[in-house]
Chains A and B, each alone.
Chain A
Amino acid sequence: MSVFEGFRFRHITSPIHNRDPRIKFLFVLAMFVIAIFFTEFLPLLVLFFLPLPFVWIAGVGKQWLRSLRGAVFLASFIFVFNFVFGYFYRSYPSTTMLLEYSLAMTLRFLVLIESFSVFFLTTSPDHLSLALEQSHVPYEFTFAFTTAVRFVPVLAEEAQTIMDAQKARGLELERGNFLKRIRNYIPILIPLIVSAIRRSLELAEAMESRAWGASPKRTNLYVLKIKLGDLVLLALAVGLLVAGIYVRYFVEIPLLSTFLPQLPF
C-alpha cells in the first residue's frame, strides 16, 4: 500500500504547497505531455530529475521516495513486457537498443508517477476542490472527485485490516500457483467493495441530512488568486513545454546504445 502513501497529503507549508493548484496541475500536465513526446532514454532521464528541486523545496522527499518504491513493481512489469515483446517481434535492430527503449518506457512511467505524486503530496484536497470549482466544474463532480481522493488512504487502511482478518483465518496470499494467488485476493476484495459501497451510502445519507445541495449557488470562504510565484511556475511550465517541443522537432537526440557495446544476443 506504499503507493498510496506516496499520494497522501500532509499538512505542511512550503513555497510549493502554497502555489495555486491550477498552475501546479498545468505544470504536471506539461511534464506529462513531454514525457509522452519522447521515446528516447536521455530526455526522459532529464525529465525524471526535473521535479527533484520541487521535492526538495517542498520537503516531501520521504513520501515521494515511497511512491516511487511503490511503483517499482509496475515499472518492472512494464520493463519486462516491453523487452520481451520487443525481443520476440524483433522490432529493434539490436538488443542494446531494445534495452534502452525498454528502460525509456519504464522511465516514462516513473516520470508520470513522480510528477503526479509531487502534485498530490503538495496539494491539499481542499485546494484541489477549490481549483476545480473555480474552473467551473460542476460541484457534484468536484465533490465526487475530492471524496474519492480523500477516501483512498481510508480504503488502503481498510484493505490492510481485511487482509489481517483473513490471514487470521489461515489465508496465505503467497501460496499456490499464479491463478490460485489471484483467487487468494477474492476474500479481500469482496469485503472491501461491500464496505466501500456501504460507506458511500452512509456518507450520502449523512450529507443529505446536513443539507447537501440545498443552495444551487455555493460561495467559498477562500478564493484562489494567482500570485507572483504562480506566474513564475506558469512561465516555467510554458518554458518547459516550448523547450520540449523544440528539442523534439529540431534537435537530434543521441541514442545511448549507439555508443555502447552491442549485446551478443
Chain B
Amino acid sequence: MIEVKDIYFTYPTGVEALKGVSLTIKDGEFVAIMGQNGAGKTTLVKNFNGLLRPAKGEALVDGVSTKDVSVAKLARTVGFVFQNPDHQLFSETVEEEIAYALRNFGFDGATVEKRVTWALNLLDLAEYRKASPFMLSGGERKRVALASVLAWDPKVVILDEPTIGQDHRQKENLRQFILQLNEQGKTVVIVTHDVEFVAECNPRVVLMKEGRIIADGEAKRILTDTTLALEASIVPPQIAQIFQGLTFLGFPSDVIDVSEAKKLLVEHFRGLRS
C-alpha cells in the first residue's frame, strides 16, 4: 500500500511542485494520475519510491516511511518505468539489460537466468535476447525498459507516460498487458496525458492541478465532468464528447467505453425502427 500524507515538495529551482497532496493507493488498485504539464504528476510518483522525498508530510510504502529506506530498497517493492527508455538502457544485450536490476538486488545466477527468460517472454522480446538494445525500435526499447523492471516482480508498478511514442497497436498491447498485470494482483500506477488510453483502461483517476489533487474517483465520472476537464486542461474522450452532444436524444453524458456506446446506440436505433 502506498500512502502519502499532506506532502509538499519544492525543487531546488524554486518550483513548488507539490502543495499538500494526500493519497492512498491500496494493494491491487489501478490508478491513473492525470493533469496538465507541470501539475506535479511525475513529482508525486517519484515520492512513491523515494527518488524524491517530501519536504513536509510523509510518504509511506507498506507502512514504512520513504525517509528511512534507500531508493534501492524501495525499488524492490515499487518498480518505476521511466518515460524515456533511453535514460536507462546501457547494456550490450537486451538480456544483460534485464539482468542488471536482478543482479543489483542480489538474485543468484540461476534465478537471474530464469527471471530474464520469463520477462523476455512476457513482453514478447525473446527473439531480441542477444540483440543490442540500442539497435531496437522505439517501441521495442520501451518494452525492454518495461521488462527490465517487471523482471524482479515488484508489487507496485509505476509507469511514467507509457503511451508516448507508441503506435495504436502497441498501445492496445500495452493496455491488455497493464490490465493483465492488474488482474494478477499488481498495483499499477500510470502517469499520463492520454485521455483516450485512460478511458479504455477505466482505472481510478486522480486529477492534479498546480501541485494539488483536484479530483479522485472512477474514470467514468472524472473524464466526463466538463467543469473538471476545463479546470485541469484535459479534453474528455471523444466518445464522451459525442454523447455529451447527444444528451438531447436522451443519451447519458458519462459514456467513455466503446462497447457501452455501441450498446446504447444499437438500443436507440432499434427503438427508432420499431
Residues on A facing B (Cβ under 8 Å): 5, 158, 161-162, 164-172, 186-187, 190-191, 194-195, 198
Contact = CB atoms under 8 A, between A and B. Distances in A.
Contacts of B100: 169, 187
Given A170-B104, A172-B70, 19 more contacts: A162-B88, A164-B82, A165-B82, A165-B88, A168-B49, A168-B71, A168-B79, A169-B101, A169-B149, A170-B105, A170-B152, A171-B72, A172-B72, A187-B88, A187-B90, A191-B90, A194-B86, A194-B134, A198-B86
B80 interface: yes
A172 B104 contact: yes
Contacts of A168: 49, 51, 71, 75, 79-80, 82, 149
B102 to A, nearest CB: 8
Contact of A161 (B12, B71, B82): B82
Contacts of B79: 168
19 contacts: A161-B84, A165-B82, A165-B88, A167-B75, A168-B49, A168-B51, A169-B75, A169-B88, A169-B148, A170-B76, A171-B72, A171-B104, A187-B88, A190-B90, A191-B86, A191-B87, A194-B89, A194-B90, A198-B86
Contacts of B89: 191, 194
Interface in B67-85: 70-72, 75-76, 79-80, 82, 84
Contacts of B155: none
A166 B134 CA distance: 17
A167 B70 CA distance: 9
Contacts of B134: 194
Nearest to A169: B101
A5 B11 CA distance: 13
A170 B90 contact: no
Contacts of A166: 88
A14 B148 CA distance: 51
A165 B87 contact: yes
Contacts of A164: 46, 51, 82
Contacts of B82: 161, 164-165, 168
A60 to B, nearest CB: 15
A187 B103 CA distance: 13
A188 to B, nearest CB: 8
B99 to A, nearest CB: 11
A168 B76 CA distance: 9
Nearest to B71: A167
Contacts of A198: 86
B86 A170 contact: no
Interface in B29-66: 46, 49, 51
A15 B80 CA distance: 48
Interface string B211-230: 00000000000000000000
A139 to B, nearest CB: 31
A198 B138 CA distance: 13
A186 B87 CA distance: 13
Given A164-B46, A164-B82, A194-B134, A170 B101 contact: yes
Interface in B133-191: 134, 148-149, 152
Contacts of B46: 164
Q: Which 8 A-B pairs have the closest CB atoms?
A: A170-B104, A190-B90, A169-B101, A168-B80, A165-B88, A167-B71, A165-B82, A165-B87
Most buried by B among A161, A169, A172, A191: A169
